[in-house]
Amino acid sequence: MSVSYLDAINAALNEEMRRDPSVFIIGEDVGVMGGAFGVTKGLYEEFGPDRVIDSPLAEGIIVSSSIGAAMAGMRPVPEIQFVDFITPAMDAITQQAAKLRYRSAGAQTCPLTLRVCYGGGTGGGMYHSQTNTTWFAHEPGLIVVAPATPTDAKGMLKASIRQDDPVIYFEHKKLYRLPAIKEDVPESADFLSDLFHCAVRRPGKDATIVTYGFMLQPSLQAAEKIAEETGASIEVIDLRVLNPLDHETILNSIAKTGRLCIVQEDHRTLGIGSEIAATVAELAFDCLDAPILRVAAPDVPAIPAAEPLEQFYMPDLPKIMTAMRQLLQY
Amino acid sequence: MATKVKEPAAPAAAPKSAANGRPNSENPLISDDKLKQIYSTMVKCRLLEERARTLKKQARFKGNYYAAVGQEAVAVGAGIDLRPEDTVAPSHRDFILNFIKGVPLEIMFSQLYGRVTSPDKGRSSPAHCGYAPLNIITPASTIAAQLNIGTGVALANQMKKNDNVVVALSGEGSTSLGFWHEALNFAGVRNLPIVYICQNNLWAESVSVKLQTRVDDISLKATGYGFPGITVDGNDAVAMYRVAQEAIARARSGGGPTLIEAKTYRWYGHSEIDPAKYRSAEEVEEWKAKDPNAAMERYLTGKKLLSADWKQQIIDSFNKELDAAVEYAEKQPQAQPIECLDHLYSFDVRSRELDRKTCTPQY
Ligand SMILES: Cc1ncc(C[n+]2csc(CCOP(=O)(O)OP(=O)(O)O)c2C)c(N)n1
Ligand SMILES: [Mg+2]
């Protein structure tokens, strides 16, 4: 049966809550309403108000109380409705969750999975469109994942919940119901996905695109178009995990293709592309046949709402095509 | 393009027997003209928001809209007598405060339509209207954050020894955030000239106020910060006006902050895409029966201050103003794509973004 990204997340939550009574959900509008986007639909009815907690409007306590509950043996799956509103929880995430294990030399830990809705291109404007993945990928101590397919959405969420570390799980709002990515998803209650490696979504030998999240879609389309136009074969790597980065898969690809373009929805400066480019320059300089390129949003504070401005901002197929032609012609 | 939005307030009639300063039938607390001004502004606010909702439903503009229909008495009571120098710190649901404070309708509809003539030139959500010339802070969406920024404006007003006040508005959901408590605490400590208006409309998206706070009256929370808190029927425009004006006058004269909890109700969903299935139809009907505009109408009728003609005249002439504003906004262009790179700093960064080998901005 063909499953949407949203239904895959919902199924993962349901299965893990059935399997483990210590798993619970907390967040704004997650209960009675089933979430702002309907991701937690039906869970309140099945598991009740004490395991699907409609929290007060306070991201700080949503995450902090999850950290405390995790320390005390629960497996919380808190939700942030829009990443744009995660800032009241920044102390909890960066100073507490990321550092608890380290500061207690491993004696205290907080295995929680913070689900965060992110991403632009929906006309949501400055405060309903952001992609702040880098803030978290910059924090050692956090595992940061961003699945791009329904199978990963399910398998990585289940694996995150079972993982003995704090995981920030980024789900892109434009993927939730995207028909093009619906797919068969393993139904076994013990289906888990790997949390540590990139996935090669399309093999190739002439150039590599590294991307994640919604940007995988235009990246795959670009690879297809380039193949039609020039016959060049582009390898497309889905990062899946933003921290800790899987260097090996990326370096192996560069060793083969010699050309790299990173596509990210986040703005350019110090985005994940900066780290990948630096790593490749440091560790695979001798493999490179062309300068590393990035397709990223411009360095402006957030995505403007008006269509012409949003379009200028968002990385998309035409922008990726321009970069890839440049990369291949070098 | 300036639109006159405020009914001219007639100069208060000189009290004839004000020897003891107390209100009586000849020296009312609120003049008849003020009562009529409050009513007509409420009617216009509703027409304005219903128009915005219709346009949204017709997909004439993009993004979302958060209507405060049902809450007009709160906004009008608090905002109607503010001076241009006073600051308003609005939430996502306070679009109409712009109108009440005197922002031209053309500008407000440009905001809805995300046109270059909008104050933010198409950057933010349609309902997030701010207006610097009248000291209305451009809202972010972060719930409660405007209270803290408004508190900083109040600090500056106090430092500058002027008598400007700040009115900071939010919903009951905002009281769960740390921001809210930090703002009130600081305002209490510094005795700042600010009025916090908590629009308790019982719901924060789908979450009942019962899940936000254990107390029945949010105004209680002011006690913990050392200044007055008062709960008022937010659907009673006269009560709301009196309470707000007293708090504003106290703030103006150095008496410090006030928290006003206005109990009210939003008639529609959280936004135009929310069917609001989490609450009962009975509850909605019960509150619609407490319509603040209808209540004010009854009050004015009882005082023989309202005629059907006058009411119709308000509606007809304001609908024409709305038509003109919509027409104006629809004719305006959107920003050029490249303008995405503007207004980051006091200096220009277009060239830096377009030619990435230059690193010196045009200071
Ligand atoms: C910090 C933060 N968290 C979450 C949201 C998403 N959100 C927008 S409005 C809203 C509910 C607000 O409720 P309330 O404060 O009662 O105001 P009302 O909408 O009722 O006017 C929520 C949760 C947000 N904008 N900011
Ligand atoms: Mg509310």
Note whether A113 and A62 are same-domain residues: yes
Q: Has residue A191 been placed in a domain?
A: no
Note whether A156 and A296 are same-domain residues: no
Q: At what angle do helices A317-329 and A216-230 cross, to 10 degrees?
A: 50
**Cα–Cα distance for residue pair A289/A167, rounded to 1 Å:** 36
Q: Which of A157, A184, A211 is the last residue of a domain?
A: A184
Question: Among B212, B278, B340, whose Cβ lies nearest the Cβ of A57?
Answer: B212
**Domain regions of chain B by residue span:** 3-337
> If you measure from the C-alpha of residue A146 to the centroid of ligand 1, how many angstroms do you get, rounded to a whole number?
26
Q: What is the pLDDT of residues B273-320, one digit of tens each?
A: 999 999 999 999 999 999 999 999 999 999 999 999 999 999 999 999
Q: Which ligand is nearest to the CA of A27?
A: 1
Q: Is A84 left (phi over 0), alpha (psi -120 to 50) or beta?
A: alpha
Tell me, what's the pLDDT at B338? 96
Note whether B276 contacts A: Cβ–Cβ < 8 A. Answer: no
Average pLDDT taken over every residue of chain B: 93
Question: Among A128, A306, A313, whose Cβ lies nearest the Cβ of B141?
Answer: A128
Q: Which of A184, A219, A234 is the last residue of a domain?
A: A184
Cα distances (angstroms) measured from residue A114 to each of A80, A169, A201, B202: 7, 6, 26, 28
Tell me, what's the pLDDT at B361? 57
Tell me, what's the pLDDT at B353? 86
Q: Has residue A129 been placed in a domain?
A: yes
Q: What is the pLDDT of residues B57-106, one digit of tens each?
A: 999 999 999 999 999 999 999 999 999 999 999 999 999 999 999 999 99
Query: What mean pLDDT do residues B255-259 have?
Result: 98
Tell me, what's the pLDDT at B9? 47
CA atoms within 13 A on the CB side of A309: 28
Q: Is A128 noted as a catalytic residue in this protein? A: yes
**Cα–Cα distance for residue pair A49/B111, rounded to 1 Å:** 40
Q: C-alpha A102: how far from its chain's center?
A: 24
- For ligand 1, residues with CB inside 6 Å are A 28, 57, 59, 81, 85, 88; B 92-93, 141-143, 170-174, 199, 201, 203-205, 270
Note whether A159 and A83 are same-domain residues: yes
Instruction: Give the contacts of A15 (CB within 8 A, at least 6 positions apart).
Output: A158, A189
Tell me, what's the pLDDT at B94? 98
Whether the per-residue pLDDT at B340 is higher than 90: the answer is: yes
Q: At what angle do helices B72-79 and B237-252 cross, to 10 degrees?
A: 30
Tell me the residue range of the domain where A277 lies: 199-329
**Cα–Cα distance for residue pair A232/A226, rounded to 1 Å:** 6
Mutate to test the pocket of ligand 1, among A85, A86, A90 (most ligand atoms within 8 A of CB): A85
**Cα–Cα distance for residue pair A33/A45, rounded to 1 Å:** 10
Cα distances (angstroms) measured from residue B109 to each of B45, B49, B60, B286: 13, 11, 11, 32
Assign 3-class secondary structure to B155-178: HHHHHCCCCCCEEEEEEHHHHHCH
Tell me, what's the pLDDT at B355? 85
The number of helix segments (H) and strand segments (E) in chain B equals: 11, 7
Note whether A78 and A108 are same-domain residues: yes
Tell me, what's the pLDDT at B158? 98
Note whether A228 and A313 are same-domain residues: yes
Note whether A219 and A147 are same-domain residues: no
Whether the per-residue pLDDT at B12 is higher than 60: the answer is: no
Whether the per-residue pLDDT at B187 is higher than 70: the answer is: yes
Return the residue whose CA atom lies nearest to atom 12 of ligand 1: B204
**Cα–Cα distance for residue pair B155/A200, rounded to 1 Å:** 56
Note whether A180 and A206 are same-domain residues: no
> If you measure from the C-alpha of residue B198 to the centroid of ligand 1, how many angstroms do you get, rounded to a whole number?
13
Instruction: Choose among B355, B190, B205: nearest CA to B266.
Output: B205
Q: What is the pLDDT of residues A95-152, one digit of tens each?
A: 999 999 999 999 999 999 999 999 999 999 999 999 999 999 999 999 999 999 999 9
Tell me, what's the pLDDT at B29? 83
CATH number at residue A32: 3.40.50.970
> Does the beta-carbon distance from B212 to A56 stay under 8 Å?
yes
- Total count of domains within chain A: 2
**Cα–Cα distance for residue pair A56/B300, rounded to 1 Å:** 40
Q: Which of A184, A210, A242 is the last residue of a domain?
A: A184
Tell me, what's the pLDDT at B27? 61
Q: Which ligand is nearest to the CA of B143?
A: 1
Query: What mean pLDDT do residues B350-363 have?
Result: 74
Note whether A158 and A28 are same-domain residues: yes
Tell me, what's the pLDDT at B23? 59
Average pLDDT taken over every residue of chain A: 97
Instruction: Choose among A188, A189, A169: nearest CA to A18.
Output: A189
Token pair recorded at residue A128: 């309903």
Q: Which CATH superfamily is domain B3-337 in?
A: Thiamin diphosphate (ThDP)-binding fold, Pyr/PP domains (3.40.50.970)
Which chain A residues are closer than 8 Å to B174 by Cβ? 57
* Contacts by residues A190-194 (CB-CB < 8 Å, ≥ 24 positions apart): A191/A154, A191/A155, A191/A158, A192/A155, A192/A158, A192/A159, A192/A162, A193/A147, A193/A151, A193/A152, A193/A154, A193/A155, A193/A156, A193/A158, A193/A159, A194/A155, A194/A159
The sign one gets for the Cα dihedral B106, B109, B111, B117 is negative
Band of residue B1 on the pLDDT scale cut at 50, 70, 90: very low
Which chain A residues are closer than 8 Å to B341 by Cβ? 298, 300, 312
Whether the per-residue pLDDT at A25 is higher than 60: the answer is: yes
Q: Has residue A95 been placed in a domain?
A: yes
Note whether A24 and A88 are same-domain residues: yes
Which chain A residues are closer than 8 Å to B211 by Cβ? 54-56
CB pairs under 8 A between A and B: 125
> If you measure from the C-alpha of residue B171 to the centroid of ligand 2, how many angstroms do you get, rounded to a whole number?
4
Whether the per-residue pLDDT at A89 is higher than 80: the answer is: yes
One-character DSSP codes across A210-222 = EE-GGGHHHHHHH
**Cα–Cα distance for residue pair A220/A238, rounded to 1 Å:** 10
Note whether A46 and A135 are same-domain residues: yes
Tell me, what's the pLDDT at B360? 60
ipTM of the complex: 0.93
Note whether A230 and A137 are same-domain residues: no
CATH number at residue A241: 3.40.50.920
Q: Has residue A193 been placed in a domain?
A: no
Token pair recorded at residue A86: 């995660």
Note whether A235 and A166 are same-domain residues: no
Query: What mean pLDDT do residues A204-214 have?
Result: 98
Q: Has residue A279 been placed in a domain?
A: yes
